[in-house]
Structure 1
């Protein structure tokens, strides 16, 4: 009986408990990244883009991705079909485009273009986290 209750509890938590804590816009994400000294993941997306929808419904819903983003990053998404305000230098030639930025808004790498699968994205998150750690310990 305990095993059944545990399985039900884990199922409910995976359905309702795991979502990315998105900041409402680029400016508030930068402010939070600065105050918490964390890297920012910034996605340029489009509601009408098949690959954007796929990216958000698969990779960005993977519990491992959600956990890692919520603990180690500040996350923000801008939909170009909503005319968002964000720096011109973060525009991308297509969507989705995923940037990783320092807390001051400076890009750490070129953007990841397209809908990365969860395994590849997790590897990218590890690389970004390690590079961010190196850049903040150098004096």
Structure 2
């Protein structure tokens, strides 16, 4: 009985763990990111992509990943939506995740399924590149 209760609680936790706020469309996500001076995380999925589903339900539902994504404007788009895909950089497969500035400049790209530890490593790279860009802007404005 104890194992059943623990299993039920784990399942319930997995179902409600998705605390990521997903924007409805790319235009409103870009507008929000510009307005609030935030970075974007764009996840491109395929309708029948099992790796996309694994990415969402295993990696993106992890508490550490959810916490890292809180400052981002997050959006999921479907590869089959040709109008939206024209506004994004070309992809090599799904899932593809772009970390980008509100002007659509790509900071980092993750292609394929990543487990939690590997996905969290992208935040280190994104942080480093954002800091480097700010330093470069500061140096050029000081001249």
Q: TM-score, normalised by structure 1?
A: 0.78
Relative distance call for 1:14 and 1:96 in structure 2 (3 A) is closer
Superposed structure 1 runs of 4+ greater than 3 Å apart: 11-15, 81-84, 86-89
Deviations 1:19-63 (A, max 9, x none): 211111111111111122221111110130111111111111111
Moved more, 46-55 or 84-93: 84-93
SS of alignment partner, residue 48 of structure 2: coil
Residue 69 of structure 2 corresponds to residue 73 of structure 1? no
Moved more, 111-120 or 74-83: 74-83
Which ranges in structure 2 are unaligned for 5 or more consecutive residues?
A: 1-10, 139-143
- Corresponding residue for 2:121? 123
- Map 1:1-139 onto structure 2 (within 5 A): 16=16, 18-70=18-70, 72-83=71-82, 85-109=84-108, 111-137=109-135, 138-139=137-138
Deviation at 1:79, TM superposition (A): 1.1
Could you tell me whether the CA contact under 8 Å between 1:52 and 1:96 is conserved in 2?
yes
Q: TM-score, normalised by structure 2?
A: 0.76
Relative distance call for 1:94 and 1:17 in structure 2 (3 A) is closer
Bigger RCO (CA 8 Å, 6+ sep): 1
SS of alignment partner, residue 44 of structure 1: strand
Quick one: distance in 2 between partners of 1:49 and 1:18?
19
Q: CA RMSD in A?
A: 2.3
